[in-house]
Amino acid sequence: MAGLAAPAASFGPSLFALAPVAGPTARFRTQVCGSRCWIAAKLKLRKALKRHGWQLQRKLDAQGDEKSPGCLDVTSLTEKITRQNLQLAHGAFTLPLPLYADSGNEMASTSSDTMDSSIVQKEPMHLTFNPPGTYPPAPTEASSLFDGQSNSEPSLSISVIGATGELARSKVFPALFALYYSGFLPQDVSIFGYSRKAITDEGLRSMIEANLTCRVDHHENCDDKLSEFLKRTYYIDAGHDNNDGMMRLNSRMAQIEGTRAANRIFYLAVPQEALLDVALSLADSAQSKQGWNRIIIEKPFGFTGVSSYRVTQSLLSRFKEEQIYRIDHLLGKDLIENLTVLRFSNLVFEPLWNRNYIRNVQVIFSEETATEIQGRYFGNYGIIRDIVHSHILQTIALFAMEPPVSLEGEDIRDEKVKVLRSIRKVDLEDVVLGQLKDNSGKADRYTKSMTPTYFASAMYIDNARWDGVPFLIKTGMGLMKNRAEIRIQFRHVPGNIYRERFGHDIDLDTNELILRDQPEEAILLKVNNKVPGLGLQLDASELNLLYRDKYQVEIPDSYEHLLLDVVDGDNHLFMRSDELAAAWDVLAPIIQEIDQNRVAPELYEAGDRGPINAYYLAAKHGVRWDDDW
């Protein structure tokens, strides 16, 4: 059976490696079958974890290997056999696992949901003969940092650029720790902070530790997990030159990663004016050459359509489209995911999702806090560029798109961009602008700037499904309460024989479907029913699904959701370049018209409902805003 060495070599860079040593046929079959079974079970487990999250992980941890689902019980046996064979001392051959060397490309890894060893590029096998009595070189300190990890698994390095800023400290690092604690990040993950402040690793750890907490419903071993996470966190001083700084970042990451294959994620929590300098320096000096690279870019995505196009072209000159993730944290809410789930997985709704049954759609987003007003909104970006361009238009696109071919990110993005390209040119008469009145005593602040903090508009989608259906959007800061919902109002029942039972207000008999994220997560369906008792009196009631009553879990932060999508390569909630351009084609003309005509926004008080003209706008299009603020 000496010929067994050749078949082992033919596997090339597959997801497992068999030691090329002579042995019984039974052992060979055990290794092959066991490895195949382990791969299948690993894929199944990954999909289950992605769907059911940390609850399944904790259950598996409690059960142990012998009770794991499928055929995971062969994992430990297969790994032990492979390790033993690879460590034979006398006359053994060492098979170094191939590294996935492709700078900047998205490629398959063992963490993918779909893997096929037949499509992995095969490389020649390099054999190193160790003389009798000698052993393979011991791994270095960096490469052995993560004990117990198979060398076939690429490590993951996540770099937060702008690590000492408010966004990184209050949102990004807490989200990364929540994912790590819940078991959604690989055990061999490393976190790197990059900024211009002169601090050390311990300085960064102390800075972010105050914001790292465990969930109330998921609090076991919190201190231990926190300590482990902080030990995996490192700091790199960017200095005054990003080219040199990125080289230092790359060197530090390579030191921690060792000689293994490594995937890298870069979160660019930097101001828009610094974006290109950071991104291009990163592309030249800090990308992994032995795994995939992905960059995350924060909104707003440009100040005008022209400036956004220039930024996009600069990014695409160094990165591929599939590497770029334009993040909007508002799209990570369960409300957004429920749009497609509710529509495409329930037969009762999909036939009604068109102009024949839907009278209007309202997309409402408001915040009572005004903490961001002075910086972002009075800083000339305003609510149109920051909220409407990304969150509102993406919500409309997901709501109104045609059924995608699959749930793959590119298929969903293909349908979204069709909706954005079908949105009719917005008329200035169908726009209401508002600005939060400044009560700080600096009366000249809002008189010198006409940047809106409130925007309401009526939009139409010119296609066969939505022709004539108004999409009313209303979003603002410093309003009465936090509110995020999508309200679908259906048409009246033709020839309704119960019409007289509703009195004079015909709108009372309108069926509504409400998807709400704030003030509390809920799905509500407004229906008409008879009031109990004698006589025939009708009333409108809500069939409600309140998440707090149905699901006894804490809702993850939207940053956790989106960061996990980046790790998994799921890009359907991130804007592609053509989506970005299509959104600017919708808003750029109206922004230009507002600037040219110097349209003054209507002032409103903090804690108010917003400009009164928004109600006249809704009435003009036959819509009544819901006053449940």
Q: Which are the catalytic amino acids?
A: 391
Q: Is 494 helix (H, G, I), strand (E, B) or coil?
A: coil
DSSP state of 526: E
CA distances from 419 to 108, 308, 428, 586 (A): 31, 20, 21, 11
Cα(first)–Cα(last) distance of the chain, in Å?
A: 78
User: How would DSSP label each residue in 95-109?
Assistant: -PPPP---TT-----
User: How would DSSP label each residue in 453-506?
Assistant: SEEEEEE-B-STTTTT--EEEEEEESBSS-EEEEEEEEPPPTT-TTGGGGTT-G
According to DSSP, the β-strands at 233-237 and 128-129 are unpaired
SS (H, E, C) 158-204: EEEECCCCHHHHHHHHHHHHHHHHCCCCCCCEEEEEEECCCCCHHHH
- Among residues 196, 252, 205, the alpha carbon closest in space to that of 233 is found at 205
Number of H helices, E strands in the chain: 20, 17
| Contact criterion met (CB below 8 Å) for 258 and 141 | no
Amino acid at 619: A
DSSP state of 234: E
Sequence length of the chain is 629
Distance CA 249, CA 159 (A): 9
Please count the other Cβ atoms lying within 10 Å of the Cβ belonging to residue 271. 11
The b-or-e profile of 368-385 (16+ CB within 10 A means b, else e) is bebeebeebbbeebbbbb
| Contact criterion met (CB below 8 Å) for 328 and 484 | no
- Among residues 237, 217, 210, the alpha carbon closest in space to that of 58 is found at 217
Distance CA 175, CA 526 (A): 36
Q: Which two tokens stand for residue 193?
A: 């902070």
Q: Which two tokens stand for residue 90?
A: 């006398």
Q: Torsions phi, psi of 468, nearest 5?
A: 90, -5
Distance CA 517, CA 334 (A): 7
Give all strands (DSSP E) within 376-482, no chain letters.
431-436, 454-459, 471-477
